[in-house]
Amino acid sequence: MELDHIYICTSPKAPEGDCLVQFGLQEGSSNVHPGQGTANRRFFFHNFMLELLWIADTQELAALEGSPIRLKERFDALPQGGSPFGLIFRPELPENARDNAPLPEHAMYLPAYLPAPLGMQVATDNGTQEPNYVYLDFITRRDNSATGEPLDHAHGLKEVTMARVTAATSAPLSRTAGHVASQGTLEITSGAGHLLELYFDGATRGMSRDFRPHLPLIFHW
């Protein structure tokens, strides 16, 4: 499997994302998730998507309490230092999509906005101090799908070749964290604060942009 996209929990309508537009990213289409109570802003790259996720309907989100996706629990944990991140994975090769169950401990989440029988594997051994880990067996690389989303941006950023996620926790990381990090292009570590670092195109130019305090995010290219 490989990393498909990462969401960052934000305030309603994600005004924090304006700093990405000012940096030079071309914003893609947005989504509302019926029955889940969330909506997003999205930024697409050739092999990756960055999603800014917020609560759009508190009643719908509350109705999900106790479900495998645990989004209500995660939004509730943010003021106490919970992780704002969700890491979503796809099959490395589309033809192998339905041949495996790559998250070692998981439950199935069947959101109302996906047609049956599509569902999501969601890790169950990680607390809210760690990212959410989700596997979708029905999606492919962004540049393999004819979505019409903008894939090219200022500074020539094209592909995410490595991601580093820092979790603000002193507890041992879950078995799932070690498993997904073993895929080779993702690092998950513990540290003083939650942070996502995205490395584009091998980060050969030695440049970076820190989007804090707006978003817990750094680009390297």
Interatomic CA distance for residues 188 and 166, integer angstroms: 6
Distance CA 91, CA 30 (A): 24
Q: Is 23 helix (H, G, I), strand (E, B) or coil?
A: helix
Say whether pTM exceeds 0.75: yes
Q: What is the largest CA-CA distance in the chain?
A: 47
Residue 15 backbone dihedrals phi, psi, to 5 degrees: -60, -20
Phi, psi of 19 (to 5 degrees): -65, -30
CATH architecture of 2-220: Roll (3.10)
Would you kindly state where each structural domain of the chain is located, as residue ranges?
A: 2-220
- Structure tokens belonging to residue 113: 């906005």
Q: What is the pLDDT along the chain (221 residues), one digit of tens a residue?
A: 899 999 999 999 999 999 999 999 999 999 999 999 999 999 999 999 999 999 999 999 999 999 999 999 999 999 999 999 999 999 886 555 454 558 989 999 999 999 989 999 999 999 999 999 999 988 888 787 677 899 989 999 999 999 999 999 999 999 999 999 987 799 999 999 999 999 999 999 999 999 999 999 999 99
Contact, 42 vs 6, CB < 8 A? no
What angle (nearest 5°) sits at the alpha carbon of residue 187, between those of residues 185 and 191?
160
